[in-house]
Chains A and B, each alone.
Chain A
Amino acid sequence: MPRSSQGERWRPPRGRHGLPPEVVARSQRERLLAATMQVAAEKGYTPMTIADLTKRAGISRTTFYELFGDKEACFLAAYDAAVDRLVRRVSAAYEAEGRWPDRARAGLRVLLEALASEPAQARLALVDVAAAGPAAQRRYRAAVQRLTPLFDDGRDFAPGGRSLPANTSRMAAGAVAGLVADELVAGRAEQLPGLLSDVLFATLVPYLGPDAAAREVGEEI
């Protein structure tokens, strides 16, 4: 998933540098996680080898096995790290606004822009992730659910929102995930930011109904 700074990630100087071993290890781990998302997105999870990863990250095979037991464990850690970064950015944008519909709009905008900025990784994270096995599939669903607390503030905002089904935020998240996956499958990742109105409507509609949701979407686009 997103973050474009991976190319220029800091590396410790080679040879004798007197850096504490934990600093070196952290840098190696971060490089490896970034490399894993890049290579998996370019090559696909199944054909990706540990040799690809150590080469891209500039670490030895020994170091790889000090950090992770196998390719899957490394991929899952990389996936979690990418989701963490994305959720933090979306949450920050959301928290910066006041009214719930505005907060939702701000959060979703950041989400779509982040995914559009890294199309291959977005596709990997949301569409092709299933190829990495059942554990990865569960991680994907868990990632979608991490965004549900943002939706659930709609309960307090909407008249009668408290009596909505307990699952309402999961439904909204599912609707958003469906719209986004459809664009990614069609190879239109770059156009994701243009989906903001629809994604916002999908988020608001279970809480507000189609009329109020359409009014909110119509304001300030």
Chain B
Amino acid sequence: MAATQTRRQAILAAMVRVVGQKGYKETSVADVIAEANVSRTTFYKHFEDKHTCFLAAYEMLVEEVFGEVVAKCDGGAPWLARMTTGLTTLVDRFAVDPALARTAVVEVAAAGADARRLHWEAVARFTEYLDAGRELAGGRELPANISLMSAGAVSGLIFDELLAGRAAELPARLPDLLFAMLVPYVGPQVAAAEMRRAAQRH
């Protein structure tokens, strides 16, 4: 049982790596089993086809990255500090693992409607955290979907960098990403101050 689970995990991890390197469309089951070092029979014992395997791999990826980000965010810290830490953790993870980043953000879009839904749900999990920032707005009335604006701005910038093959430079973009994430909640002055602080740390 343990060995079976390990093989399944190995296949999922291989799927994430290969798709990140070759692209979803170009990836074949043969590539994945070679990378995971398992037989074709083993692959089909666990998964019906490439697509279902990719969906499972994507879910695992989200759990892993999301878990890591949440673990780094101290629940007791103020919202601004938590969001900064969370975004930094995400960006650093993407920078050290460009293939994972590409699968998570770029290739998922090419893997069909089911995969895009999983991506969207993952973004929504991050935006739930963001939404605590409403409290900072005091009595202001902010649009209901403000967290979506924030997430859209951030993921657009990350997407562009990854599409251009610049995952390693993402941490250098952190000041801009922070500004984009915070500005709908706190406005340009406060967001710019956070941005300068991040730039100094970098």
Contacts and interface: CB of A to CB of B under 8 A. Distances in A.
A67 interface: no
B23 A179 contact: no
Given A137-B110, A178-B156, A167 B142 contact: no
- Prevailing SS type, chain A contact patch: helix
Contact of B175 (A128, A165, A207): A165
Contacts of A137: 106, 109-110, 163
Contact of A178 (B112, B144, B151, B192): B151
A138 B160 CA distance: 8
Contacts of A185: 116-117, 120
A131 B183 contact: no
B195 interface: yes
Interface residues of B, number: 45
Interface in A107-156: 127-128, 130-131, 133-134, 137-138, 141, 144
Interface string A24-40: 00000000000000000
A167 B25 contact: no
B148 interface: yes
A209 B144 CA distance: 16
B176 A182 contact: no
Interface stretch (A13-21, A51-59, A84-92, A169-177): A169-177
Interface of B: 23, 25, 106, 109-110, 112-113, 116-117, 120, 137, 140-146, 148-157, 159-160, 163, 175-176, 179-180, 183-189, 191-192, 195
